[in-house]
Amino acid sequence: MPDYTDYFAQVKKEMPDITVKIPIESSRGCWWGQKCQCSFCGLNGLSIRYRTKSAERVLSEIRRQFEHYGATEFIAVDNILNPLFFRTFLPGLRQLYERYGITFFYEIKSNLTDSEIQSLNQSGVKEVQAGIENLNDHVLKLMKKGTSGLENVRFLRDCASHGLQVHYSLLWGTPGETRDDYISLRRLIPYIQHLPPPKHIVPVALARFSPYFNNPGKYGIRNVRPSPLYPVLFGGMTDNYDRLANIFNFDLDSDNDEGLNMERSSFIDEGQAWRETYSGLSLVYSEFEEMLIIVDIRYGASKVFLLASPAKDIALFCLKGQTDSNIKKAFSDISEDEIEKFLRRMVEKHIVLPWDGGRPVRYLFLPVQVSMERMHGTMDALRSGEECQEKKTVSS
């Protein structure tokens, strides 16, 4: 285990007011990459095989670092959180959080369930970096991410509901992407502007040891050359950048596709606008007595929707994303026409997202869940706004 004694002594002397976050390692490699390496990922060049410490050992190291240095903020340097840790590690971490206020940052896969996200928050994992990378099913399949765009949207909503700060990037320029992929992404953004935006919208990098690097022809990659940053870094002291470089530039035939480039540019602009205009919780819901209260302060308008059963029940049924047939089967006592009419209205208001990923359309309820106390704060923004009520029946 690292000894930071000299470092903390110097910090105390030179910068006594800063908060020090201690790095800690609970695993190496990537359990997902061991099964199916993401196409662009060049991490773990020597061995991607997943190795993990026991939960007991990690908890012991946290306690020792806390007792020795008094630090309560830790950063896991793992590539990915061990899924077994939800059962073996988080209960102990929760005790440390509740007793000492110890908090954590972890890198995670974005296919976590709502209960797993809640467990992270309750255990003191307050900040995560998620491997989202994209919100389009086709592109995610090209990347071999093992997730869907709908899962990623649901993940962002649930992180917001549980107060988990999430960092992620959206990547553009994936080999094999199409103009239609960007059209779909641009259609999606208006529905999800109330959710945490990406920290960065950046091009895919060609990294050494990645599948892209090891087999460029398979992906239509050509003219691979070291990034021009290396001569700057090394001051022109060598010409052997092919061996030194970790990041490379490359060309694709699609680079000359004007239609693709136009849609990509528009998506980047709209994604940046999402980042710049994001103002936190602007579409939220809470349950109060027999009603589902939805507050919407997006798009410069202010509205309240009050849903009573069965509309309330259908909305909550769609928290996980449900097909039209599943909804109608679950609510067979309601006419199909009424259900379809209700879903259309919720889609028109961007409260429900219709997800067409090359399979039957699934409907996802988009508002972020908040407590009634937080709902009162959001309601303050409605004092001069319009109020709209949906009561009693599905189609009222």
CATH of the domain at 378: 1.10.10.10
CA distances from 46 to 37, 42, 109, 210 (A): 14, 10, 22, 12
Task: Compare 236 and 320 and report the one with higher pLDDT.
Answer: 320
- Domain of residue 315 covers 283-382
Cα distance between residue 305 and residue 312, in whole Å = 10
Question: What secondary structure letter does DSSP report for 79?
Answer: S
pLDDT at 336 exceeding the cut of 50: yes
Q: Quick: pLDDT tens for 107-154.
A: 999 999 999 999 999 999 999 999 999 999 999 999 999 999 999 999
Write the pLDDT tens digit of every residue in 243-268: 999 999 999 999 999 999 999 999 99
Q: Which of 225, 253, 277 is the last residue of a domain?
A: 277
**210 located within any domain:** yes
Is residue 394 within 8 Å of 311, Cβ to Cβ? yes
Annotate 112-135 with b (16+ C-beta within 10 A) or e (fewer): bebeebbbbbebbbbbbbbbbbbb
pLDDT tens digits, 9-36: 999 999 989 999 999 999 999 999 999 9
Query: Smallest Cα–Cα separation from 280: which of 156, 189, 196, 190?
Result: 196
Q: Are residues 262 and 339 in the same domain?
A: no
Residue that has been written with the tokens 């209700």 in this structure: 342
Angle at alpha carbon of residue 114, lines to 324 and 145, rounded to 5°: 80
Indicate whether 392 belongs to any domain. Answer: no
- My answer on whether 254 and 341 are in the same domain is no
In a domain, 394, yes or no: no
Rounded to 5 degrees, what are φ and ψ at 323?
-75, 160
- Domain final residue pick, 244, 277, 310: 277
CATH number, domain at 257? 3.80.30.20
The values of phi and psi at residue 234, to 5°, are -100, 5
Against a cut of 0.85, is the pTM above it? yes
Tell me how many domains the chain contains.
Answer: 2
pLDDT at 379: 62
E strand segments, 179-334: 200-203, 206-207, 222-226, 247-251, 283-288, 291-296, 303-307, 322-323
